[in-house]
Structure 1
């Protein structure tokens, strides 16, 4: 698996987490139409809370929304955050 393939797979997985976190109100298509920006796609505060929980459960990645709000801005920023958390 190449880095590009891993990145694509991780993007899709994050998109699925967002879908689940929002109760399928925000879809992967919505995210792509909003260039990955969660707020423009329609993620609300409950969706963000659910997403943070999902990121912790799935990846062990804990986002502090007060200290690290930039990591919850877009699918790309979440992917970067998760990838950084996987490194030793």
Structure 2
């Protein structure tokens, strides 16, 4: 059931990708790694650390932060608003 729910959430994430910002993507990746950890009993703490470090560094660098925001907005305008990828 957890795998099915995770798959559903991933499908929604893929469909909504053009509308997501970096923070939302990082949060979802963290959630996915958490689910993978619970399934495999593997320790992904170093992966969590890397994700958190990347997010922190992007947010602290004003040029990179603005660039990510610009790319995100540009992608919203270029892609169709309702993807049929996972339907």
- TM-score normalized by structure 1? 0.31
TM-score between the two structures when normalised by the length of structure 2: 0.31
- Per chain length, whose mean CA-contact separation is higher, i.e. which structure has more relative contact order (CA < 8 Å, sep 6+)? 2
